[in-house]
Structure 1
Amino acid sequence: MYLVTFRLAPGEYDTEFHELNDAIQAAAEDTEGYLGKQTWHAPDSEEVLVIYYWKSLDALELFGADADHKRAKQRWTEWYDAYEVTVTEVVERYGNGFGDDSSPLV
């Protein structure tokens, strides 16, 4: 499994941003191998972390080829003050106490 961490400092969002963002989320959900996402907002700043869960790199690459996703990546300066993407392979997961529905992991 792979995690894509999208760290962002939000800027100004307009109608076009929201429409494109919704289209990108729909494309992710329609991609075989997409497992879900979780979002965190930093308590002391406007920084946001969005963690996307993917079954494989192939699934992630398929999503990366989506036309709306490519267009949004080209226009990031219109909507974000900063962003960073980190792709991580999960080699182990363990813990206790969050319950079966605590994450979109399969």
Structure 2
Amino acid sequence: MYSATFTFAPGNYDDAFHRLDAIIADVARGIPGYLGEEAWESPATGLVSTVYYWESLQALQQLMQHPAHLAAKQQQAQWIKGYHVVIAQVLRAHGDGGIAHPLSAAAGAAGAATEVPSHHP
């Protein structure tokens, strides 16, 4: 399992941004291996961070290589003030079931841990 964390400083969004953002979201959710996402905003810095969860690196790469995602990368400077991406392998996920989380379904029952086999793509 993998996560892709996209942290950015919001800028000025126009109609083209909203259209492209909606297309990318639909594409991501339609890729087999997409597990979910969550987003956070820091009141102190104004930065936004969105974490996408993927069953495999190959699933994540499908989104990264999609024409809409490539177009967004080329145009990002007109909409955001800076960004940072972290791709990470998820080794374990667990919780008490008290909050909804994109990986809760993968864990099965409340409180169960999601163990991820250790292997390299």
- State, as a whole percentage, how many aligned pairs show the same letter: 38
TM-score, with structure 1 as normaliser: 0.92
User: Which range is displaced more, 38-47 or 25-34?
Assistant: 38-47
- C-alpha deviation, 1:97, in angstroms: 5.2
Higher relative contact order, chain-length normalized (CA < 8 Å, sep 6+): 1
TM-score, with structure 2 as normaliser: 0.81
What's the CA shift string for 1:28-51, capped at 9, x where partnerless?
Answer: 011110011101010212100100
Query: The residue matched to 1:87 in structure 2 has which SS?
Result: strand
| Counterpart-to-counterpart distance in 1, 2:11 and 2:87 | 23
Q: Does 1:104 align with 2:102?
A: yes
Q: Does 1:30 align with 2:30?
A: yes
| Counterpart-to-counterpart distance in 2, 1:51 and 1:94 | 16
Query: The residue matched to 2:12 in structure 1 has which SS?
Result: coil
Structure number with greater Rg is 2
For 1:36, give the aligned amino acid.
Answer: G
Instruction: Tell me what 1:11 maps to.
Output: 11
Query: The residue matched to 1:72 in structure 2 has which SS?
Result: helix
Query: The residue matched to 2:77 in structure 1 has which SS?
Result: helix
| Counterpart-to-counterpart distance in 2, 1:27 and 1:97 | 29
For 1:32, give the aligned amino acid.
Answer: P
Instruction: Tell me what 1:62 maps to.
Output: 62
Query: The residue matched to 2:98 in structure 1 has which SS?
Result: coil
Count residues with an aligned counterpart. Answer: 104
For 2:77, give the aligned amino acid.
Answer: T
Q: Provide structure 1 residue ranges, at least 5 long, that are not aligned to the other structure.
A: none
| Counterpart-to-counterpart distance in 1, 2:61 and 2:45 | 31
Instruction: Tell me what 1:53 maps to.
Output: 53
